[in-house]
Structure 1
């Protein structure tokens, strides 16, 4: 898809009432696309859509969506196409990241992560992919995480779900790209959103590691235009990760701990995390 093609294209984004999803909806709208925001919080999705419509002057709609439910996802895409036209791009953005040691994690929270972070991506990729295959065009963007390339204490289930997204998306690219369907994997690092509230990288690395959701959004729009397979935001995190992974296993882990990365998710600001965890529990 070229920059010119973006004008009038139809983009659907999951989990887009807030955070990276909202920023991505705004970025696509400013690029000339018509955007469907899907979110479990249907009221917040509509408010966000109205705000973006007013701010950008583009066609942005907010729709209810439970990404783990196939019927709900189908209905979301059907409604988006009925109101905006044939879908061109799906961004599987919806994701959750509770923190804490795995043995203390409630089974319901484990299942919720699997539902949102894995089933949501699978459902979206299949349902959008089928439509794209019939038309011989389209683009799927799956939001993974830098944590999907590592194993972070305090994020065991989350890391596992994002490892899945990485492998799944790489395979999907190899299957669909030869048929003219774009598939992009996005690897965000520390992004200033509610999802990461209370977790902070070591002070020395913050300029290298932390970015705003608008930075991820700009990267996603650019990736769709140039048909990129993978992007990392910020790119410096990818470089840092590759450098540490060149070390032997024990030495790598020792270096990570020495650099202050070992307790980022096991010792966050508990007040901020508790607020986020309460919201997640209310969505079950």
Structure 2
């Protein structure tokens, strides 16, 4: 029997950060298909509104900057007021992924990466968890990454932010034990979205945003601590920690593990960086 009170998605309120595009959009569509009411928070409020309009009356869009706790508080308050019910599920999905050699990466991009990918989760948890604890029920999903367990050349600061996200999720899950509130980490492999566009990851399995959305929705039932997508990559990552470093170095070389540096469409990545730094 689960230690967490059941959440019936039919009529539940689900707030999703980064809800305008990619994984966030797919997640909003998936929850709405299960009868949930969804609130989409995004810096691009116009695009979020377009996604909400596509979903219909069950969806609501609001501008959100996850780097700003006050913005997060305002988003959740607006979502609850619009849908006239308390928050049941928070999906901390917003994220950015600059790529490049560590010693050459811009410090402003480093700060942006950590602020969005790590502090954004901190703000979301602190904004949502107290109300959930008071009601004795709730669920928070942190969209982390397998890069939060497996380092990749060309993604050093992104790795750092996602390692932090995985640790934050694990620790807050322990602290909220027996409150009725669960915290889960979803760890995607490479996802076919703008986040990783222009990078040839070679043998690393790529998944679609809809695959991640299905795992996020499924976590409301399972309340699992970590969910890797695809699952076998999570198992392979765990196995990799048991191999001696010389063996892993050889395997990495055979797999050309420097693709985030060498197998990149510079134009596509430049356009992505221009968009995330405009916000």
TM-score range, shorter chain: over 0.9
How far is 1:2 from its partner? 4.7
Give the distance between the partners of 1:134 and 1:200, measured in 2 at CA.
46
- Structure 1 length normalisation: TM-score? 0.93
Match of 1:275 in 2: 271
Aligned residues: 273
Which residue does the alignment assign to 2:21?
Answer: 18
Give the conservation status (yes or no) of the 8 Å contact 2:201–2:260. Answer: no
- How far did residue 228 of structure 1 move? 1.6
Residue 111 of structure 2 is matched in structure 1 by 111
User: 1:173 offset after TM fit, Å?
Assistant: 0.8
> Shift of residue 59 of structure 1?
0.4
State the TM-score, normalized to the length of structure 2: 0.94
SS in 2 for 1:141: strand
> Could you tell me whether the CA contact under 8 Å between 1:177 and 1:183 is conserved in 2?
no
Give the aligned partner of residue 260 of structure 2: 265
Partner of 1:177: 177
Separation in 2, partners of 1:227, 1:281 = 34
2:42 is aligned to 39
Q: 2:95 maps to which residue?
A: 95
Q: 1:57-76 maps to which residues of 2 (within 5 A)?
A: 59-76=58-75
Q: Is the 8 A contact 2:64 2:72 kept in 1?
A: yes
Q: Please give the secondary structure, in 2, of the residue aligned with 1:48.
A: helix
**1:115 offset after TM fit, Å?**
1.1
Q: Which residue of 2 aligns with 1:145?
A: 145
Give the drift of 1:243: 3.0
Higher normalized helix content (fraction of residues): 1
Counterparts of 1:250 and 1:143 in 2: how far apart (Å)? 31
- Residue pair 1:2, 1:226 contacting (<8 A) in 2 also: no
Alignment check: 8 A CA contact 2:18 2:94 kept: yes
Distance in 1, Cα, partners of 2:177 & 2:24:
24
Structure 2: unaligned runs, 5 residues or longer? none
Q: In structure 1, what is the equivalent of residue 208 of structure 2?
A: 212
Instruction: Supply the distance in 1 between the matched residues of 2:21 and 2:249 (Cα, whole angstroms).
Output: 34
> Within 2, Cα distance between the matches of 1:141 and 1:242?
21
Q: Determine the structure 2 residue equivalent to 1:129.
A: 129
1:77 aligns with 2:73: no
